[in-house]
Structure 1
Amino acid sequence: MNSKRELTTGYLFLLPSLLGYVVFLLFPILFSLWLAFSEWDLISGLDHIQFVGLRNFIDMWQDELFLKSLKNNVIYSIVVVPVTLAVSLCVALILNQMVYARNFLRLLYFLPYITTIVAVAIVWMQLYHPTQGPINQLLMTLGIDNPPKWLGSTEWALPSLMIMMVWVGLGYDLIIYMAGLQGVPKELYEAAQMDGAGRFRQFLNVTIPMLSPTTFFLFITRIIHSFEVFAPVNIMTNGGPGDSTSVLVYYIYELSFKFYKFGYGSAVAWVLFAIIFVITLIQWNRQKKWVTY
């Protein structure tokens, strides 16, 4: 009797969370899957949802803006993910060797990550100002008469976002890498020194293999985050100039909440999910080839 009462009490405590999961997560996911095969503009009401089959998925591969957004997203991921990992690993190695001010510097690097992205974007917009921004003023002081227009240029807008996001993500990866470095046994380095290995050889044969699980974790999470980038684009460029910074999540936002094409937007969202899922699945299956446990 007491066990049944305890079981009932436990389920009652779980009920609010379960209802929240169904209402705010499970139902929207299933509803968006249904909309992906439909045409709906929200304003006309639920009675006007029209089933169109695979038309949304067929049309998107003939949609130049979708292809442009996909291309920008792939370029963004290819650049930001490895650069962030490489820079954070280098900084982690340096800080790991320091005795003084290590915790303070680690905090400074981590601050951009925990700062709201809106504040970070506004600050970088001022830095990128073509005439009054500190970056271009410094470049002109160094003798560069025509510095980049940064966010106002179709060539430099996307690289500008990449630079900022590398700076934002550096602190998190740095903390994770420093934790991984603390777990590398010193005996391995001592054995490598006895074999005549220098610092670079120790880095290649000891540090990199021992940090491979950490790198794998950061790589997977960075890939997912890179395909979910939205706030910097929405705040700093609105996908411009000339759609040069439009990415998939921002394109989904435009389709759904600017043009009210919820069916087409849902189809693009599920294609984005499929891309992330396939990339993650491939990396998960290949981890045994380069991850050392």
Structure 2
Amino acid sequence: MASLTAWNVRTSPRWVGLDNYSELIGSDTFWQVLRNTIVFAGLFVPGVMIISFGLALAVNQRLRGVQFIRGVLFLPYITTMVAVAMLWNWIFATRFGLLNGLLRLFGVEDPPAWLADSPWSLIALVIVATWKTVGFQMILFLAALQGVPQMLYEAARIDGAKKLRQVFSITLPLIAPQSFFIFIITFIAAFQTFEVTYVMTGGGPLNASNTLAYFIYENAFTFGRMGYASAVAMVLAVLVGALTLVSFWVRRRVVSYDL
């Protein structure tokens, strides 16, 4: 296994046993990156799930132009990350950015440097990643919503149930299996996030926005530490696998596949 070797590509792998893992455990940078990844996932996953479900409800209507609206909402997902980065770099620009310009209009005299301040850079990446991703999950939710029998809503309306009650009593229980699938792929995507970090912040400032996938790339191809990067990759694989198993354990107890 590469994670048990010292290897810089230019030379043959040299067996070092568990030295890479020992270095990981004692590395403040690794723990910071792991914490960043968990915070990223903790913000990204619920954000994507809630926004994409809300958008799916909004476009699950028989309205003129709704197909065009669905296409517009899906467009960011198929847009290249470089183009997305150019757009959001302008939005997040400290002095002349659109977002800080709006904040100044609302009385914020000293808005943050979104991509250069440690507290804000990771949040900025969450915003960009969410904006780019929700269109795909929206389509999945939309497909699930269109499989719910309309007669159930008609019966609920006759009984006097409001829209919100219908969502919680009919929609969410019936699309629970699909929602769980969307949660799993979103959760895995959160821990594998790389592109947005690579093109927007490069993990900076001072690793404040660095995540495990980018940390693997950085050690492997910037520092040439293939063995150490492989050890980080193994940790990431075990972490994602363990959390996914926990999610499936919870699913067996809370998700019903019976209509």
Q: Distance in 2 between matches of 1:211 and 1:86?
A: 14
Alignment of 1:161-172 (within 5 A): 161-172=125-136
Structure 1: state its 5+ residue gaps: 1-33
The C-alpha deviation readout for 1:5-57, integer Å capped at 9, x for no partner, is: xxxxxxxxxxxxxxxxxxxxxxxxxxxxx1111111222x22xx221112211
Shift of residue 155 of structure 1? 1.0
Paired position in structure 1 for 2:98: 134
Paired position in structure 2 for 1:41: 8
Q: Letter of the aligned partner of 1:76 in structure 2?
A: F
Q: Is the Cα–Cα contact under 8 Å of residues 219 and 226 in structure 2 kept in the other structure?
A: yes
Q: Distance in 2 between matches of 1:98 and 1:236?
A: 38
Aligned-residue Cα RMSD (Å) equals 1.3
> Taking structure 2 as the reference length, what is the TM-score of the superposition?
0.95
Q: Is the Cα–Cα contact under 8 Å of residues 43 and 126 in structure 2 kept in the other structure?
A: yes
1:102 is the counterpart of 2:102: no
Shift of residue 98 of structure 1? 4.7
Q: Distance in 2 between matches of 1:134 and 1:58?
A: 45
Alignment of 1:242-257 (within 5 A): 242-257=206-221
1:91 is the counterpart of 2:51: no
Q: Distance in 2 between matches of 1:141 and 1:190?
A: 46
Q: Distance in 2 between matches of 1:278 and 1:153?
A: 33
> Taking structure 1 as the reference length, what is the TM-score of the superposition?
0.85
- Counterpart secondary structure, 2:203: coil
Paired position in structure 1 for 2:78: 114
Q: Distance in 1 between matches of 2:172 and 2:242?
A: 26
Q: Is the Cα–Cα contact under 8 Å of residues 122 and 209 in structure 2 kept in the other structure?
A: yes
Determine which structure has more spread, i.e. the larger CA radius of gyration.
Answer: 1
Q: Is the Cα–Cα contact under 8 Å of residues 81 and 199 in structure 2 kept in the other structure?
A: no
Paired position in structure 1 for 2:43: 79
Structure 2: state its 5+ residue gaps: none
- Counterpart secondary structure, 2:89: helix
Paired position in structure 1 for 2:109: 145
User: Which of 14, 20, 25 lines up with 1:50 in the alignment?
Assistant: 14
Count of aligned residue pairs for this structure pair = 257
1:178 is the counterpart of 2:179: no
- Counterpart secondary structure, 1:97: coil
Paired position in structure 2 for 1:193: 157
Identity of aligned residues (%): 37
